[in-house]
Amino acid sequence: MSDGTWGDGTRSVRAGEEAPVPGAPLRPSPVFAAPYHLGDRPPRADGADAYARTEHPTLRVFEAAVGELDGGRCLSFATGMAAISAAVLAVVRAGDRVVLPSDGYYATRLLARDELERYGMTVEYVPTPEIGAVAARGDLEGARLVLLETPSNPLLDVCDIAAVARATRAAGAVLAVDNTTATPLGQRPLALGADLTVGSDTKALTGHSDLLLGHVSTTDEALYACLKSFRDHTGGTPGPFEAWLGHRSMSTLDLRLARQAATAAAVADLLAAHPAASGVRWPWRPGDPSYDLATRQMLRPNGIVSAELPDAAAVARLLAAGRLWTAATSFGGVHSTVDRRAQWGGDAVPEGFVRLSCGIEDTADLVADLTAALDAALG
């Protein structure tokens, strides 16, 4: 029932819904029946569902909603990593060349090191700020899959999706874009020429830090069929309750992003002016290395900011002094969090590097609390 002229708030609430039926619930609850349906007829006879791993009514509604925001057909997965794995493994074969971001989510690199190379694939790593130049030189020739993550996590660099898409298309490669940080409201990779858009819906899309979900969307029917077959065979399907909660939670995405972005702007300014912090990154702050591209390519900002404190001890003092900023490794939720990325060992960042995820608490309260915490971080 989506209307292409509707704004982000309307689409977030109404995506995936059909015309209302008098006497029916405004939004149906999840179907908790057994994962199979009894009967003496062949599976899918007269359009009936056969088995919840391959089809489920609650999941279809959630996928329709996410697909509307992405601008393609969506397949949901049990986690973000299950979605990334499907986007990669459903496309490539032994001997293929795969290009991944060297500065993106570290678990994607672990997937490449421990699984892709084991199956005989050649994996190359390119920093997000450099992939545009690599594409322009024609160095993507011979690649089967190119995966971008923009803005990158945790450094928040942005790359030109449309330019890389032209290069991958010319090279005969598939382009997938991890859109987790931006969300479908902040960036639409499929409209910019990507073949696949991937998201960890654990983060901002559902946004309450209480779900594990992921998805892949595409406008290519052959790729969709390939991904659907991969999910059916490997079993990465989310449960109906998770899908229902995900659909319910994404209704507030527009409101959450607006508050988080407003806070992020204030937090980025505070960090840039405070002697305890350096190297502040927020792509929508004038002067940021990604500012020009982000404001041209992306539809709206979000609430993730990164910066560097002097060392790990300074981060510990900041967290001990703050009352509204919680130490946590995920991001995009309603609570404001700080993550010292070096403690996980997966990112090439200094010991004092932090990723701040702005929640939906009052901006003034968060800024005041962070100001006091930064003062304490100075020791």
Residue 3 lies in a domain: no
Tell me the pLDDT tens digit for each residue of 329-378.
Answer: 999 999 999 999 999 998 999 999 999 999 999 999 999 999 999 999 99
Compute the mean pLDDT over every residue in the chain, rounded to the nearest whole number: 94
Angle made by CA atoms 357, 359, 365, in degrees to the nearest 5: 110
Residue 228 known to be catalytic: no
Residue 11 appears among annotated catalytic residues: no
Same domain, 187 and 270: no
Residue 379 in this model has a pLDDT that exceeds 90: no
Task: Give the CATH number for residue 348.
Answer: 3.90.1150.10
Catalytic residue among 11, 70, 105, 339: 105
Q: Which of 53, 97, 166, 300 is catalytic?
A: 53
Same domain, 276 and 146: no
Question: How large is the average pLDDT for residues 198-222?
Answer: 97
In a domain, 2, yes or no: no
Known catalytic residue at 203:
yes
- Is the same domain home to 163 and 196? yes
Number of domains in the chain: 2
Question: Active site residue: 8, 160, 178, 195, which one?
Answer: 178
Residues 279 and 196 placed together within one structural domain of the fold? no
Residue 243 and residue 271 share a domain:
no
Range of the domain at 260: 253-377
Instruction: Note whether 323 and 361 are same-domain residues.
Output: yes
Query: How far lies 46's CA from each of 30, 50, 61, 66, 193, in Å?
Result: 22, 11, 20, 27, 37
Comparing CA positions, the residue from 82, 108, 92, 202 lying closest to residue 145 is 92
Catalytic status, residue 178: yes
Answer for the pair 173, 140: CB distance below 8 angstroms, yes or no: yes
Residue 3 pLDDT: 62
In tens, the pLDDT along 18-64 reads 888 888 888 777 876 666 666 677 778 877 787 888 888 899 999 99
* Per annotation, catalytic residue among 11, 203, 259, 281: 203
Q: Identify the bridge partners of residue 124 per DSSP, sorted by sequence position.
A: 99
